[in-house]
């Protein structure tokens, strides 16, 4: 009889890595470029004034959503940080965070390939862990790439004031944790649903609802109490960029949401009948 021991499926991890690499590179490229562009905009006060004039003509929540009062002429760090919470950057993160786990789990269940994978020497838990590893490492790498974009941009430009890079590193980590919650929810959705469309629907809805809850809570005083229910509430740009310490409390909340979602997804995935 052959050896029946089940070892970790590194080959599946490798195979999936190559399948998601193009998406990671595409998202990473845009995030990297956006950081560099932002650094160039931030070195030109005329450009800053023009951007602020445009923003001032728009409803207040738009400016709030991408930096609020941090965006002022002379506050280069605040202005560069705009690209860390720009909706386009958030959407790019969301694309990766949602597409990867839903594609790897629900997508493979839907296409029938999961039945083949699970009929080989691979346990359901190992399959889930592979999806978690690739999603998590992909997100971490994107966060690092975003920071690298800022480092590259800052070194390419000349500023009237000295731009410290450390706050951006901190912002990258906190931003990464924020996206990580989305990825956690996407993993949960991917573990629960057979249809990739439904999994994407749940994960995207989570992001969008949270985003708008935060906007409404900031914009409408009567809805202020809703703020803590949104993941975006736990990102305080001023605290992250100019605070003395790491925002440990906020980071712990975001980290907990990710962990709980991932663990809950894992439990459901393990108990679920597949490929039904």
Partner 1 sequence: MKPLEIKSLTKRYGRDRGVEDISFDIEQGEIFGYLGPNGAGKTTTIRCIMGLLRASSGSINVLGQKVKAGKATCHKCIGYLPGDFRIWGSLKAKRSLEVLAALGDSEISKKNRLELAEKLELNLDRKVWQLSKGNRQKVGLIYALQHEPEILILDEPTSGLDPLVSQVVLEIIREAAGNGATVLLSSHDLSEVSAVCGRAAILREGKLVELAPISTIVQEGHGQLKIWFVEGSAVPELPAEQLPGVREIKRKGLMLHLEYSGKVDAVLKWLGKYSVSRMSTPETSLEDAFMQYYSKDAGQQGGRA
Residues that bind partner 1 (CB under 8 A): 1-4, 6, 9, 11-12, 15, 111-113, 115-125, 270-271, 273-276
Nearer to partner 1 by C-beta: 9 or 78? Answer: 9
**Cα separations (Å) of 22 from 12, 16, 55, 96, 200?**
17, 11, 34, 11, 19
Judged by DSSP in three states, 117 sits in helix
Nearer to partner 1 by C-beta: 127 or 183? Answer: 127
Cα–Cα distance between 104 and 253 in angstroms, integer?
27
- Which tokens sit at 274? 């597949």
Nearer to partner 1 by C-beta: 239 or 272? Answer: 272
Do the beta carbons of residue 64 and residue 20 sit within 8 Å?
A: no
- Which tokens sit at 177? 């944790």
Torsion-angle region of 273 (φ positive above 0: left; ψ -120 to 50: alpha; else: beta): beta
- In the complex, what is the shortest distance from the CB of residue 120 to partner 1, in angstroms, rounded to a whole number? 4
Buried b (16+ CB within 10 A) or exposed e, 174-197: bbbbbbbbbbbbbbbbbbbbeebe
Do the beta carbons of residue 246 and residue 169 sit within 8 Å?
A: no
- In the complex, what is the shortest distance from the CB of residue 3 to partner 1, in angstroms, rounded to a whole number? 7
Nearer to partner 1 by C-beta: 152 or 270? Answer: 270
Spell out the residues 6+ positions from residue 184 whose beta carbon is closer than 8 angstroms to its own: 257, 258, 259, 260, 261, 262, 265
- Please name the residue ranges forming H helices in 119-247: 124-156, 166-192, 196-219, 237-242
Nearer to partner 1 by C-beta: 173 or 274? Answer: 274
- In the complex, what is the shortest distance from the CB of residue 193 to partner 1, in angstroms, rounded to a whole number? 17
Nearer to partner 1 by C-beta: 227 or 275? Answer: 275
- In the complex, what is the shortest distance from the CB of residue 272 to partner 1, in angstroms, rounded to a whole number? 9
- In the complex, what is the shortest distance from the CB of residue 200 to partner 1, in angstroms, rounded to a whole number? 20
- In the complex, what is the shortest distance from the CB of residue 270 to partner 1, in angstroms, rounded to a whole number? 6
């Amino acid at each position: 009889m052959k050896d029946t021991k089940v070892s970790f499926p590194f080959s599946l991890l490798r195979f999936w890595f190559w399948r998601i690499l193009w998406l990671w590179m595409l998202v990473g490229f845009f995030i990297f470029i956006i950081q560099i562009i932002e650094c160039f905009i931030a070195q030109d006060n005329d450009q800053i004034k023009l951007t602020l004039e445009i923003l001032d003509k728009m409803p207040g929540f738009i400016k709030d959503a991408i930096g609020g009062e941090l965006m002022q002429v002379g506050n280069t760090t605040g202005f560069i940080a705009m690209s860390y919470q720009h909706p386009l950057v958030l959407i790019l993160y969301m694309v990766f965070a949602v597409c990867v786990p839903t594609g790897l789990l629900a997508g493979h269940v839907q296409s029938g390939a999961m039945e083949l994978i699970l009929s080989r020497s691979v346990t359901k838990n190992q399959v889930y862990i592979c999806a978690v590893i690739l999603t998590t490492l992909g997100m971490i790498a994107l966060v690092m790439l975003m920071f690298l974009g800022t480092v590259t941009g800052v070194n390419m430009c000349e500023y009237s004031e000295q731009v410290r890079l450390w706050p951006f590193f901190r912002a990258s980590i906190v931003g990464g944790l924020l996206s990580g919650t989305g990825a956690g929810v996407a993993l949960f959705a991917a573990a629960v649903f057979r249809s990739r469309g439904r999994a994407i629907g749940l994960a995207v809805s989570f992001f969008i609802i949270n985003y708008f809850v935060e906007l409404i809570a900031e914009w409408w005083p009567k809805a202020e109490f809703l703020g803590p229910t949104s993941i975006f509430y736990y990102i305080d740009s001023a605290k992250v960029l100019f605070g003395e310490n790491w925002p440990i409390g906020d980071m712990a909340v975001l980290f907990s949401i990710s962990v709980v979602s991932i663990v809950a997804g894992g439990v459901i995935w393990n108990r679920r009948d597949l490929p039904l």
